[in-house]
Amino acid sequence: MQYDTIRLDITDALAVLTLNRPDKMNALTAQMRAEITHAMHAAAQDARAVVLTGAGSAFCTGQDLGDASSTGKIDLERSLRDEYEPMLEAVYDCPVPTIAAVNGPAAGAGANLALCADVVIATESAYFLQAFARIGLMPDAGGTWFMPRQMGMAKAMGAALFADKISARQADDWGLIWEAVADDDFDAHWRKRAAYLANGPTAGFAAIKKAIRGTYDRNLPDQLAAEAHLQGECGRTRDFSEGVVAFLEKRPAKFEGR
C-alpha cells in the first residue's frame, strides 16, 4: 500500500515506521491514524521487530488541530473510539517487539503513542508533554493508563495537571521510558537495539510481552500459572533448542523467528 503521511521500510526482518509530516511536526490527522494502523498490521506480518520514529525534528506533537477544524467541530469521543483506539491497539497488541525511537518532542497523543511501544528510547534533547490541560482537556490516547503505571501516581498527576515538559532524562529517571541517549549516538543506538530484537527469539519475546502485560490483572498464583504455561510453549520452540546448543557450543545463537 502507498502511504501519504508515513513511511514503512522493512529490511532484514526489521520494520521502521516513520511519521512523515515533518513540516507539521508529525501532528496526527485522521488519514495518518488510519495509515499507522494499517502499517502496523502489515509490519507485524512481515517483520520480527517494529520501530516507530519521526521525520524531521519531532517525534509527534499530537492531534493536528488544523485537521480537526477543517471538518468542523471535532467529535472527540468518536475520534478517540473510531480512530485513536485502533491505532493504539495496533501498536500495543503488536505480536513482535516494538520500539518508539523518540527523536524529538512527543506531545499530547504523540507522547502516548510512544508509550504504547514495548520500549521507548529517546534522544536527550527530546521531551514528553501532556499538553491537554492547556486547551481545557484531559490526557487521552492511553495517557491516563500508561503514566501512573510507569512513573507513579504523583508524577502522573503533576504531569497531567501542570502540563510541564518532561525532559528525556527526567523520563528516564522516573521510569516513564527505557533510556535517554545522547543526540550524537541516538540513531546508531536505536538501530542496534532494534536489530537485536529483529534477530532474537520471536516466540520468546511474544511470551515476555504477554506475561508482563498481564501481570496487573492477576494475583501471584495466577501469574505463576501463566508463566508456567508460556514457558512451556517457549520450551517447545526451535529457538529454545538452538539457544541451548549455542550456549553449550559457546557461540551466538541463530534464532529462526517465525
Domain definitions of the chain by residue range: 6-198, 202-248
**71 has a pLDDT exceeding 50:** no
55 within 8 A of 104, measured Cβ to Cβ = no
> Which residues 6+ apart lie within 8 Å of 179 measured at CB?
121, 122, 172
Using CB atoms within 10 Å of the CB of residue 120, give its burial: 0 to 12 exposed, 13 to 18 middle, 19+ buried.
buried
Structure confidence at residue 66 (pLDDT): 82
What is the DSSP track for 183-203? Answer: HHHHHHHHHHHHHHHHTS-HH
Structure confidence at residue 78 (pLDDT): 92
**CATH 3.90.226.10 at 6-198, yes or no:** yes
**73 has a pLDDT exceeding 70:** no
- Percent of the chain, pLDDT > 70? 97
How distant, in Å, are the alpha carbons of 52, 153, 174, 187 from that of 149? 22, 8, 11, 28
Identify residue 45 by its one-letter amino acid code: Q
Least Cα distance to 19 among 122, 157, 114 occurs for 114
Q: Which CATH superfamily is domain 202-248 in?
A: Lyase 2-enoyl-coa Hydratase, Chain  A, domain 2 (1.10.12.10)
